[in-house]
Amino acid sequence: MKKFKGIGLLLIANILIFITLSISFTVLSEMILPAFGIDLRGSFAQQDLLWAFVIGFGGAFISLAFSKQMARAFIDCTQITEPRTPAERLVYETVQKISGKLNLSMPEVWIYESPDPNAFATGPTKNNSMVAVSTGLLNNLNEGEVRAVLAHEMGHVYNGDMFTTTVLAGLMNTFVYFISRFIYRQVAERNEALGFGVYIALQIVLSVLAMIPISWWSRRREFAADRFAA
């Protein structure tokens, strides 16, 4: 039930984000930029670039801003503010100790139900983040291993990996949207039906290609978090 509720909230959020970004694009292209002598209304290529930028970066940063809320919507989790069990105390005090050493605001600490050993950190900034661990991780790892995992996740927080990954994702999204729309217009001038097919195909292919630099960067950040934890 929690998962279906999360999917529903995600769909609603995506619709609202798209509407917000569409309005932002219209205001930028029709009002703000012309007021500064920048008129893109006669150039489809420039309009496409602005649209790609607004959708690509806007969507990425809105997702980052609400990343904690979205994560909580998808998992059956409990926030730990006053630890009551040894496991809760271990997680909470470890995060508290590390954040204190790093002069960071204490992240929200959550434990979620899952048999799989896992943990993650998310949040818009270093000082507005959350760290979550699964019950499977607490049940299968010893105290030292749990501390190491938490140190790894705090490494992501301290290094600002959520922000830098969002910037890269925004750049890749902009690339995918712009190239797809630009080529679509060229093809659609001759055959609109074919142009739509080309647009969909380009979205798929370019999205796969865009995952290459994102995956490369993500792997580098994982190694950096490992070094931090060590």
- How far apart are alpha carbons 141 and 163 in whole angstroms? 29
SS3 219: helix
- How far apart are alpha carbons 109 and 92 in whole angstroms? 6
Residues 128, 148: contact at Cβ < 8 Å?
no
- Distance (Å) of CA 1 to CA 6, 78, 119, 169, 170: 9, 16, 22, 30, 32
Q: Name residue 131's beta-bridge partners.
A: 109, 121
153 is catalytic: yes
Q: Which of 108, 113, 145, 153 is catalytic?
A: 153
Residues classed as catalytic: 153
